[in-house]
């Protein structure tokens, strides 16, 4: 599962593939922490690998992998 932390016009959001709406955050650190917690929970619950991807300023990086 890939959970995306996205910055558009200095607004941070967490996009979860199984959620109907993105969660908004004032700070990137808060958005990343929320996404990391979702990734850890998904891995704990399913045993499947989770990735937190950060998209900002036209760039994308896979910042965290949880599981194999």
Residue 2: pLDDT above 90?
yes
Residues of the domain holding 45 = 2-66
Q: Which pTM value belongs to this model?
A: 0.92
Residue 63: pLDDT above 90?
yes
Rounded Cα–Cα distance for residues 27 and 8 (Å): 12
Report the side by side order of strands in the sheet with 59-66: 23-25, 11-15, 2-8, 50-56, 59-66
Residue entry with tokens 């932390």: 5
Residue 57's region, left for phi above 0, alpha for psi from -120 to 50, else beta, is left
- How many domains is the chain built from? 1
Is the CB of residue 53 less than 8 Å from the CB of residue 15?
Answer: no
11-56 tens-digit pLDDT: 999 999 888 889 999 999 999 999 999 999 999 999 999 999 999 9
């Amino acid at each position: 599962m890939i959970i995306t932390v996205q910055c558009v016009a200095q607004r941070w959001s967490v996009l979860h593939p199984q959620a109907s709406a993105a969660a908004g955050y004032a700070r990137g650190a808060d958005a990343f922490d929320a996404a990391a917690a979702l990734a850890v929970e998904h891995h704990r619950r399913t045993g499947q690998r989770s990735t937190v991807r950060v998209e900002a300023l036209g760039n994308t990086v896979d910042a965290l992998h949880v599981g194999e």
